[in-house]
Amino acid sequence: MKISVLIFMLLCYVTFAQPIVKTGIEVLRDNNFEILKGKNFGLVTNPTGVDSKLKSTIDILYECKVGKLVALFGPEHGVRGDYAAGEYVGFYKDSQTGLPVYSLYGKTRKPSNDMLKGIDAIIYDIQDIGCRSYTYISTMGLLMEAAAENNIEIIILDRPNPLGGNRIEGNYAESDFISFVSQFKIPYVYGLTCGELANYLNSEGLLKDGIKCKLTVVPMEGWKRDMTFEETGLEWVPTSPHVPHKDSPFYYVASGILGELDVISIGVGYTLPFQTFAAEWINGAEVANKMNDLKLTGVIFRPITYKPYYAVSKGESISGIQIHITDFKKVNLTEIQFYFMQVHNSLYPDKDIFGLSKNRHDMFDKVSGSDNIRKLFMKNYRFEDIKDYLNKDVEEFRTKIKNYLLY
């Protein structure tokens, strides 16, 4: 009897330990790389490009027998994650395969014609985090433009959106604020997988001059729009040094816009990246009480004191609040940082965050996708003053993307 129970438990463990979701690279491999047959292809990836056993997409495609991997292209951080955030990446050779690695985060962010010579198709396999300011989708869009200009097929190997497929927050990026951190006229949080987004950009004419590429998306199997990353059964590989955990994308959205001002520590430079709001003059208990009095859905706050190892307030003892998301499906992420600025201004009016930010207004506006957010907010430092503007494009976008949903 005991042996039967043990066998049953082991079978249950094996069953439930298997990932529920198959990513695009695994679906491609299961289909024997059929769409790569007879092709020389390049690959844009980074350490997040892995299968469920954490084998690199580079190595999987290097072993492909029906086509040939001939070049690698690296976004920010490089193809194997050897470079820090914002660090210049030049041309080099991959130490494990000997393949040339062309940087898309150095002199150029878009593959040149010379880089693409002799390539029939280019593959994109990177874990995105579902936020417009995260630069991997900007790399993807520029890659699509280069593929169109050179009559090369682009293949997107799809992956889950860790914020889920239903969350949409923020206004469209406006024409004057298109940049590498807001490359497209989409909301700040856009609720699409990278494959769905690629289809949307291509079909809606959002690439440069409305150009269209020959696009193939290899969809996942088993993913649902309301899934958390935990529910996929997949391992989380840090998408960048400050996005180390599967929940990190939520906190990135909650504090990243404010973080661009370089006045308030948001935990970057400490062990809690994107999870705090702190400064030398802040009384953490006081701010935590005020924030909790707002009764924001799905989030609570506690006082915290720490000493950043680098970045804002390096080496200084600072106090503030830690963000604790209690309901990842109901919380509105983008508004959290603006409510903090509202509370901060009411308690410390002599510490005007925008006044202290020196020359960082430009980056704040670029990430916000507009300067109207800053200008409206600065009038009274009240979230209510920007709420309508921040949400004005959400329902229109939700309607427009319906035809592009794969799941």
CB neighbours of 382 closer than 8 A, spacing ≥ 6?
342
Give the percent of the chain with pLDDT over 90: 88
221 lies in some domain: yes
Domain ends where: 205, 239, 273?
Answer: 239
Please check the confidence at residue 58 and state whether its pLDDT lies above 90: yes
* Inter-residue contact 407 to 223 (CB < 8 Å): yes
Q: Grade residue 88 by pLDDT with cuts at 50, 70 and 90.
A: confident
If you average pLDDT over residues 41-61, what whole number do you get?
A: 97
Q: Give pLDDT, residue 151.
A: 97
Claim to verify: residue 187 and residue 277 sit in the same structural domain? no
Q: Provide the token pair at 169.
A: 């927050």
pLDDT in tens, 149-172: 999 999 999 999 999 999 999 999
Domain enclosing residue 321, as ranges: 248-370
Q: Of the candidates 221, 216, 304, 231, which has an alpha carbon nearest to the alpha carbon of residue 265?
A: 304
* Inter-residue contact 344 to 351 (CB < 8 Å): yes
Claim to verify: residue 113 and residue 175 sit in the same structural domain? yes
pTM for the full model? 0.93
**CATH number where 211 lies:** 3.40.50.12170
Please check the confidence at residue 318 and state whether its pLDDT lies above 50: yes
pLDDT in tens, 193-247: 999 999 999 999 999 999 999 999 999 999 999 999 999 999 999 999 999 999 9
Mean pLDDT, rounded, of the chain: 94
If you average pLDDT over residues 247-271, what whole number do you get?
A: 98
**CATH number where 273 lies:** 3.90.1150.140
Do β-strands 299-306 and 40-45 pair in parallel, antiparallel, or remain unpaired? unpaired
If you average pLDDT over residues 285-307, what whole number do you get?
A: 98
* Total number of domains constituting the chain: 2
If you average pLDDT over residues 121-135, what whole number do you get?
A: 97
Q: Grade residue 91 by pLDDT with cuts at 50, 70 and 90.
A: confident
Please check the confidence at residue 6 and state whether its pLDDT lies above 60: no
397 lies in some domain: no
